Homo-oligomer: A and B are copies of this chain.
Amino acid sequence: MSQRPLDDASSSILAAAREILAAEGQAALTVRRIAAGAGGSTMNVYSRFGGKDGVIDALLIEGFEHLTAAIRAVRTTKSPLADLLRCGVAYRTFALDHQAHYELMFDRVVPGYVMSERAHVTAAAALGTMADRVQVAMDAGLIRRGDTVATATVLWSACHGPVSLEMKGVGPPSTDWAEVNRQLMAAAVAGLSAGQRR
């Protein structure tokens, strides 16, 4: 999956970073902590990954790969529209199960960090997986024909919106976010369905 196999030191650094991120959130993800967790010194992080941003980038790529896998893992049935709705549920499940990872992927929480080219490509691949499912629904004549990626972006937004607000704790605490997610996703799919105009 990764561009080239990592040596032991690199992979242990990445493993340590992954562990810290999952266990204590991104605020605890410091170069010193990562280095200590990997059993090396801070210089290791810099020689292997070029700095903290490099580690972030690697984790981000991992995250998008997992998201792609999660979307791909949604089973394909005879009802492509229902499949798309289940993708929305899978998306939310992934986000809630890997909150820290998700924040890393979709919030620019690390000040100076900018996504690398490879990270952008991996993110595009995740969107592409969604677009593939959109294609299936189009071929079945269930949603309007058009650019699959653009359509997938709409659905992606319908997933990300509720998930993002839910994780940030905006809105009343009593909110049933699973229901919000379901409603918006259902509305989006219905809005794209072939019967409707515009």
Look across to chain B and name the residue whose beta carbon is closest to the beta carbon of A173.
B120
Q: Which of A41-49, A71-79, A164-172 contacts B (4 or more CB under 8 A)?
A: A164-172
Interface centre among A123, A127, A169, A187 (most CB of B within 10 A): A187
A27 to B168, CA, bound (A): 19
**A11 at interface (Cβ–Cβ under 8 A)?**
no
Instruction: Please encode chain A, from 143 to 161, with 1 for each CB lying within 8 Å of some chain B CB and 0 for all others.
Output: 0000001100110111111
Known: A159-B161, A190-B190. A180 touches B196 (CB 8 A): no
Quick one: which of A70-99 are within 8 Å of B by CB?
none
Contact call A191/B198, Cβ cutoff below 8 A: no
**A103 at interface (Cβ–Cβ under 8 A)?**
yes
A179 to B157, CA, bound (A): 12
Task: Work out how many copies of this chain go into the complex.
Answer: 2
Known: A103-B108, A153-B180. A127 touches B171 (CB 8 A): yes
Q: What's the least CB distance linking A13 to chain B, in Å?
A: 22
User: What B residues does A154 contact at CB under 8 A?
Assistant: 162, 180, 183-184, 187
Contact call A183/B172, Cβ cutoff below 8 A: no
Closest 3 CB pairs of A and B: A187-B191, A161-B161, A157-B161
A positions within 8 Å CB-CB of B: 27, 103, 106-109, 111-112, 115, 123-124, 127, 149-150, 153-154, 156-162, 164-165, 168-172, 175-176, 179-181, 183-184, 186-188, 190-192, 196, 198
**23 residue pairs bridging A and B, Cβ less than 8 Å apart:** A27-B112, A106-B165, A106-B170, A107-B109, A108-B109, A150-B176, A153-B165, A153-B172, A153-B180, A156-B165, A157-B162, A160-B161, A161-B184, A164-B164, A183-B192, A184-B188, A184-B191, A187-B187, A187-B188, A187-B190, A190-B190, A190-B196, A191-B191
